[in-house]
Structure 1
Amino acid sequence: MPTPGERDARARSGGRDESPEERADRRWNELLQEVRVAQTGVQILFGFLLTVVFTPRFATLDSADRTIYVITVVLGAATTGSLIGPVSFHRIVTGRRLKPETVIWVSRLTVVGLVLLLATVTSALLLILRVALRSPVVPWVVAGLVVWFVLCWFALPAWALYRYRTRK
């Protein structure tokens, strides 16, 4: 029969019968799967961004579009750093009995990476749609897409967290 302290620990771990180390291992594996998806997309996007400057069309961009491009590349580099950061973080601290702390820090780094990814995608959309459409509706289309991303990536999970946390 579990002691009251063990029951409290189980309740804090979401009802699972796992030690703090087992919980950290499970959360780490879940986090790795999430980061792998984001890393792949960011690396492809960043790779394409790096090639744009070497195309003939780049020379025809006006000053504003070149500025947006530079901002997009810098944001893409920062996003790449944040979403690849978990690999080096884990490699440097592995074997030092810091798995629960590593999961917390890497989780935070991943959220920063997602915010930077939102900024990168926004900037890339702005540049691409400005060049493709040359229309005053472009900022509105981009703003609508940003709202959609924010809803999908942040608002919906926050709402679910609030709704189901208050239900217990």
Structure 2
Amino acid sequence: MTEEGRRRGRNESEEERADRMWGELIQEVRVAQTGVQILFGFLLTVVFQPKYGRLTTTDQAIYIVTVVLGACATGALIGPVSLHRLVSGRRVKPQAVRLASRMTFVGLVLLLATMTSSLLLILRVATHDGYVPYLVSAVVAWYLVCWYGLPLWARRRHTTRSGG
């Protein structure tokens, strides 16, 4: 096994690694795509409900921002599929995997923003109470811990140890 293979934990070529990473990325994207598409679909129906016209200007603005964020998240999370289709067979898979990974990360950030603004809107309409920002902040903190904090902690913990 080469020194580079030992560092990666596998003895695979750049193309083999790209193939493996592509498969893993697409599995991850499928989960996020499903969630964002369902959320976005529900968001699109809100404007056609009778209660929409009775929302405050602020709540309507939050709704519009939420829909735009949902559309952007959907685009970013579907982007890797289009990328793969357009570059397939062009011998650029390692570069495509890196780009698709970035698109997925952006999509997850946009999904976080979409879920945050959706929650804010729903709780504002449902409760009209002053505790809504605190509740939304607590949920966002939970998302940040689950989606970024724990993964970054695990990455740091398991990649800074010396091999042994």
Under a length normalisation based on structure 2, what TM-score does the superposition of the two structures give? 0.96
SS of 1:167 mapped into structure 2: coil
Q: Quick one: distance in 2 between partners of 1:17 and 1:147?
A: 39
State the 4+ residue runs in structure 1 displaced beyond 4 angstroms: none
2:61: which partner in 1? 67
SS of 2:129 mapped into structure 1: coil
Which stretches in structure 1 are left out of the alignment for 5+ residues? none
Q: Percent of pairs identical after alignment?
A: 62
2:31: which partner in 1? 37
Q: 14-23 or 121-130: which moved more?
A: 14-23
Q: Quick one: distance in 2 between partners of 1:80 and 1:38?
A: 9
Cα displacement string for residues 97-118 of structure 1 (whole angstroms, at most 9, x for unaligned residues): 0111111110011000000000
1:9: which partner in 2? 4
Whether 1:109 and 2:114 are equivalent positions in the alignment is no
Deviation at residue 161 of structure 1 after TM alignment = 1.0
SS of 1:78 mapped into structure 2: helix
Give runs of aligned pairs for residues 114-153 of structure 1, distance below 5 A: 114-153=108-147
2:155: which partner in 1? 161
Under a length normalisation based on structure 1, what TM-score does the superposition of the two structures give? 0.94
Aligned length: 162
Q: 36-45 or 156-165: which moved more?
A: 156-165
**RMSD after superposition:** 0.9
Partner amino acid, structure 1, of 2:133? P
Q: Quick one: distance in 1 between partners of 2:157 and 2:9?
A: 18
Deviation at residue 124 of structure 1 after TM alignment = 0.1
Whether 1:57 and 2:51 are equivalent positions in the alignment is yes
